A and B are shown apart, each in its own frame.
Chain A
């Protein structure tokens, strides 16, 4: 199988000596602006590009939710900064809010930004295995952002068929009334998938092949494992939807009838293809979030991660089971009730590995010397809030109760209790934890804590009322409840107002974060190499790491979580320190 004559890789025996003596693979310090920022192949620059693009898209998504929540609390009023939200605008706003937050915030930040930044640094190598492929991935992603933003401003307005894009609403212009918006939205989503497929190949091969000498599989930090498992789940689940999206595109543009029941097609086919990807996608973003939390809580508990292998195996189990739960989104779509029973069982089963993982994190905290820094607060909040999201999910996974709760605000509140901890809370844990490494400066802790409490308290203020509204029977995707006497009652309207006011409070506290972020980047306290006294390899490099990352390529001697080892003076033991 091996053909030594043409292998690009010689055996690893001599490699190690050669690497440590070689200077870092710098490609020159004096690159021009275009080369450094627009066509950089450095994984850290690409990670920052993904991070800043994701943060920019998060602001757009936040502006959208502000506009439609004000409309729901005060129907028909003039929304400051937006104008009156009519039914078409409302549909476009909720659709693009959902699409942006999943595909253009959670994915680029959790997978691409943290993945690109952390994988080479934590594995102790100088870059990704395929740096130019990495750059191509960001460029395709950037193109998808441009196409999506254009879709919001074309005649007819942005696509309004929900982020799930069920046909026939999404496939026929006479139903959606947004011929250009829906096609551009679909093209943007396909481009986004392509970008992450390209990036995913890079993540997986780099982790398989480019680890530092001495780093065995069980020495890989959990967050890297999680990003790689998530990438594998993504790559295995997105293919059918790529095919499905091409079929939807043909339905829109060429007049085929793949999803048109009047001409032999089947709208349920799209639902299967979409959710075969869409549900694993939840775990694609959940796993990296759990990984970030694992890193943060071990460092700030000064304790070994309780059950490294347990976390790893539960992550694999979650990834595998996530392929067999998708039809719980379709309990009322007319699927066979016997199928509904099967999917109820698998959905309840998938809560086991996730619960196991949460237990491991709590056990890690037990008996540790806990330091309540800002990243630690975010990590703890992730566990607390995600449990609420997980437990309410059981009511929806059981087909009996789901039939009552389906498509109500209970569903909406449930998945925001999972997605906000994933895409917002864990991301803040990650940003505040790795900020000193990324930018070489510390963030302000006081401002960080103000931002934390200013986000967490109103977050619950938004979604607890929405649970109640859902139980009261409030359906989703309705731009004004004034036409529904049983839902327009003042006591229900007051719950909507509480949610909207909480949202505005939460959004305004994000200004504290933005201020802290920019100010700390420019003139924060200078950070040393290893400010948190952590073990993983990224803290061996300078802050921020130069092109090529390490002065001498590190060699690994132990696992990543050797904290408070008895008999040692220091309570941490970096992976690259000889015994």
Chain B
């Protein structure tokens, strides 16, 4: 049974949605700090561009496409949840999870190739930032996939359908972080 505190809404915004926005806000400053540190270094070190030339831009572009598409299915899941069609929302979330999985597989392929060519996290500052930022992002992808699996299970039984939107918001955030990482780490040469 939920406490009365959970069910009140003085702002008119559901409490769960507020909490997810605050979660995203606190995540933004974490990635913001990391990316600001990277950009400060990037400005002072023109040679970062040469190192970035060794990244696999096509794999990064493919991953961008995969993540954006997975956000589309998250939106479709939200739409289904609004129509109270839990099973369809669960199916759409499953597509999103699949997108996350493809993203991680491509990432794994990229990283193994790069490490095999001698570009490890200790090679130089660029590669340190590359692996740290992308790694932290990958952890968020995994966390989002786990959260979506739980929400999808509930949605299948038409329970707690408002969570479909919330987990979708989180997924869009993960998506947007990648939209910042891709040009900063792959394209800027």
Instruction: Point out residues on A near B: beta carbons under 8 Å.
Output: 2-3, 5-9, 12, 15, 19, 22, 25, 27, 120, 125-131, 133, 197, 200-202, 204-206, 208-211, 215, 235-244, 246-247, 250, 254-258, 263-266, 269, 273, 276, 548, 553
Contacts and interface: CB of A to CB of B under 8 A. Distances in A.
For the residues of B in contact with A, the DSSP-based class is helix
B14 A9 contact: yes
Given A205-B15, A244-B37, A246-B34, 14 more contacts: A7-B14, A25-B1, A25-B3, A25-B4, A120-B5, A125-B4, A126-B3, A129-B6, A129-B19, A130-B15, A130-B19, A236-B26, A239-B33, A264-B45
A238 B29 CA distance: 8
Interface string B153-164: 000000001100
Interface stretch (B92-100, B105-113, B119-127): B119-127
Contact of A7 (B28, B29, B41, B162): B162
Contacts of A553: 4
Contacts of A120: 5
Contacts of A548: 3
A8 B15 contact: yes
User: How big is chain B's contact interface, by range?
Assistant: 35 or more
B19 A239 contact: no
27 contacts: A5-B83, A5-B84, A6-B161, A9-B7, A9-B14, A27-B1, A125-B5, A130-B15, A130-B19, A204-B22, A210-B10, A211-B10, A236-B25, A238-B29, A239-B27, A239-B30, A240-B37, A243-B31, A243-B37, A243-B136, A246-B34, A258-B37, A258-B128, A263-B125, A269-B40, A548-B3, A553-B4
B37 A269 contact: yes
B136 A246 contact: yes
Interface centre among A8, A241, A247 (most CB of B within 10 A): A8
Given A8-B14, A126-B4, A206-B5, A240 B125 contact: no
Nearest to B9: A9
A125 to B, nearest CB: 4
B122 A255 contact: yes
Given A8-B7, A127-B5, A128-B5, A240 B36 contact: yes
B81 interface: yes
Interface centre among A25, A126, A239 (most CB of B within 10 A): A239
Shortest beta-carbon contacts, A-B, top 4: A240-B33, A239-B29, A243-B34, A125-B5
A240 B37 CA distance: 9
Contacts of B15: 8-9, 129-130, 205, 209-210
Interface centre among B14, B22, B83, B84 (most CB of A within 10 A): B22
Interface of B: 1, 3-16, 18-19, 22-23, 25-34, 36-37, 40-41, 45, 81-84, 121-122, 124-125, 128, 132, 136, 161-162, 165
Contacts, number: 170
A6 B36 CA distance: 39
A8 B162 contact: yes
Contacts of A257: 122, 124-125, 128
Interface centre among B26, B36, B45 (most CB of A within 10 A): B26
Nearest to A128: B5
Contact of B33 (A128, A241, A255, A256): A241
Given A19-B4, A129-B19, A269-B40, A258 B162 contact: no
B8 A239 contact: no
Contact of A12 (B8, B16, B84): B8
Given A25-B1, A273-B37, A235 B29 contact: yes
A127 B176 CA distance: 34
A201 B19 contact: yes
A256 B32 CA distance: 20
Contacts of B31: 239, 243
B9 A264 contact: no
A12 B14 CA distance: 12
